[in-house]
C-alpha cells in the first residue's frame, strides 16, 4: 500500500499491510499452474473450483488487511496476524490439492513451500514445526482417504508415500532454516533498537550539563537559533532570560568549590521545577532551560512577551529566595539577578542575546537580586 492512503499508518502497520498484499499476490500467481492443470484435465475442481479458491483466498487477505489497517489486530501478541494467515493458507492448499492428481499434484506441492517462506517474517522454529506437523497430518489424511476409498494399486500408494516423504523432509528443513533466519532477524532488530537507544542516550548526554543535568550552552545556542528563525519566518516572538547567581564567587572563596557545586545543583533543581510552569505559559515544545556557563543560566520562552517573561522570572526569583540551600558548610543564602529581552522583528539571535546580557549587567549594577528588561521599563 503506497500513496496518500498509506501515509495514515505508522511504519510498522505499513510493513504489515505490504506483507498481506504480497501474500495475496502469491495466491494469484498460483492461478497460472492451477488454470493450466484444469485445462489439461489434471484437476477435477473445474473452473468454478478455481473461482471458489480465488474468492476464499481474496476474502482471507482482505479480512487481514482490514484487521491490520483498522488497528484491531494490535490487541494480539502477533499484530501482523502471520500465524492465522499461514494456517488459512495451509488449509486452502490441502483442500485444493485434493482435486489434483498425477504430475499436477506433485507440482502444486510447491504451494506449501511458498507458504513456509512467509514464515520468515517472524515464525520461530517451534511454530514452524507445528505448521509442518499440521501440514503432514493433513496431507497424510487426504492421501489415505483417497487411496483407501478407491482400491488403489500398490504403485499409487508408493507414489503418495514419495510425495509425502518429500513434503515432510522439505518442510522440516525449512522449519529449521526458517526459524534460524527468523531468529537472526529478531537479534538484528534487537541490536538495532539497542543501538538507537544508545545513540539517543549519547545525544542526550551531549546536550546536557554534567553537573546540573540541565541543557548545556551548545544546545541552548541551537535552540535560540531555532526560535529566532521561527520568529523571523512566522512572526511568533519569544523572550530570553539570562540568570546569574549573585556573589557566587564569594561562595566559592568562602566555602570551596565543592560547596559551590552543591549550590549550583540545588539552584538548577529549583529552576527545573519552576520551568514546568514557564514551559506551560510559553507553550514550548520542550524544556528550554539550561546552564549557559559557570553560574549563569538561560531560559528561552517561546510565544511569551516581555511582560509574561517578567512574571515567570519573578516567580522563580521568589522561589530561589525562599528556598533553604543546605550544603555541607551549612545553609547558604542565594539570590539571583536576571536580564530579559524579547525578540524584535527580524532580529538575529546574537543581537537578542546581547540585549539580554546588557539587561543582566544593569541588574547587577543596580544592586543585584532583581530583574532588568530590555528595553528598560519607563
Question: Which amino acids are annotated catalytic?
Answer: 295
The C-alpha atoms of residue 27 and residue 65 are separated, in whole angstroms, by 15
Instruction: Look at phi and psi of residue 81 and say left if phi exceeds 0, alpha if psi is from -120 to 50, else beta.
Output: left
| CA 150 to chain CA centroid, nearest Å | 58
Distance, in Å, from the CA atom of 157 to the CA atom of 153, rounded to the nearest integer, reads 7
Question: How many whole angstroms separate alpha carbon 227 and alpha carbon 241?
Answer: 14
Give the residues across from 245 on adjacent strands: 336
Q: From the DSSP assignment, how many helices (H) and strands (E) are in the chain?
A: 13, 7
Strand (E) or helix (H) holding 321 = helix 306-322
* Side-chain-side CA neighbours of residue 74 (13 Å): 8
CA 228 – CA 343 distance, rounded (Å): 8
The verdict on whether omega for the bond into residue 375 sits within 30 degrees of 0, i.e. cis, is: yes
Extract the C-alpha cell encoding 202: 549519547
First to last CA, the chain: 63
Between CA 119 and CA 8 the distance in angstroms is 27
- Cα angle 181-187-193, degrees, rounded to a multiple of 5: 140
Report the C-alpha gap between 57 and 261 in whole angstroms: 70
Amino acid at each position: 500500500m503506497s500513496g496518500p492512503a498509506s501515509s495514515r499508518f505508522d511504519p510498522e502497520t505499513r510493513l504489515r499491510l505490504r506483507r498481506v498484499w504480497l501474500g495475496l499476490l502469491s495466491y494469484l500467481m498460483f492461478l497460472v499452474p492451477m488454470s493450466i492443470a484444469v485445462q489439461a484435465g489434471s484437476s477435477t475442481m473445474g473452473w468454478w473450483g478455481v473461482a471458489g479458491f480465488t474468492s476464499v483466498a481474496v476474502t482471507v487477505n482482505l479480512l487481514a488487511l482490514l484487521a491490520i489497517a483498522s488497528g484491531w489486530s494490535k490487541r494480539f501478541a502477533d499484530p501482523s496476524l502471520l500465524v492465522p494467515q499461514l494456517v488459512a493458507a495451509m488449509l486452502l492448499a490441502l483442500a485444493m490439492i485434493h482435486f489434483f492428481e498425477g504430475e499436477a499434484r506433485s507440482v502444486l506441492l510447491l504451494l506449501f513451500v511458498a507458504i513456509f517462506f512467509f514464515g520468515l517474517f517472524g515464525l520461530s522454529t517451534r511454530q514452524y514445526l507445528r505448521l509442518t506437523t499440521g501440514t503432514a497430518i493433513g496431507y497424510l489424511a487426504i492421501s489415505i482417504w483417497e487411496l483407501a476409498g478407491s482400491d488403489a494399486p500398490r504403485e499409487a500408494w508408493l507414489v503418495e508415500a514419495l510425495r509425502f516423504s518429500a513434503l515432510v523432509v522439505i518442510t522440516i528443513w525449512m522449519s529449521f532454516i526458517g526459524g534460524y533466519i527468523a531468529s537472526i532477524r529478531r537479534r538484528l532488530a534487537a541490536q538495532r533498537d539497542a543501538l538507537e537507544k544508545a545513540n539517543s542516550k549519547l545525544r542526550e548526554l551531549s546536550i546536557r550539563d554534567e553537573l546540573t543535568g540541565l541543557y548545556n550552552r551548545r544546545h541552548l545556542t541551537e535552540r535560540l537559533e531555532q526560535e529566532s528563525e521561527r520568529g523571523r519566518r512566522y512572526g511568533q516572538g519569544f523572550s530570553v532570560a539570562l540568570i546569574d547567581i549573585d556573589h557566587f564567587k564569594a561562595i566559592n572563596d568562602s566555602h570551596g568549590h565543592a560547596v559551590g557545586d552543591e549550590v549550583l545543583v540545588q539552584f538548577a533543581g529549583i529552576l527545573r521545577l519552576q520551568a514546568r510552569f514557564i514551559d506551560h505559559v510559553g507553550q514550548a515544545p520542550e524544556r528550554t532551560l539550561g546552564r549557559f556557563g559557570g553560574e549563569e543560566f538561560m531560559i528561552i520562552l517561546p510565544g511569551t512577551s516581555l511582560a509574561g517573561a517578567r512574571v515567570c522570572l519573578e516567580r522563580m526569583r521568589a522561589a530561589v529566595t525562599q528556598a533553604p540551600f543546605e550544603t555541607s558548610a551549612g545553609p547558604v543564602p542565594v539570590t539571583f539577578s536576571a536580564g530579559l529581552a524579547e525578540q524584535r522583528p527580524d532580529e538575529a539571535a546574537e543581537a537578542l542575546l546581547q540585549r539580554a546580557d546588557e539587561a543582566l549587567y544593569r541588574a547587577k549594577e543596580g544592586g543585584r537580586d532583581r530583574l532588568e528588561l530590555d528595553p528598560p521599563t519607563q
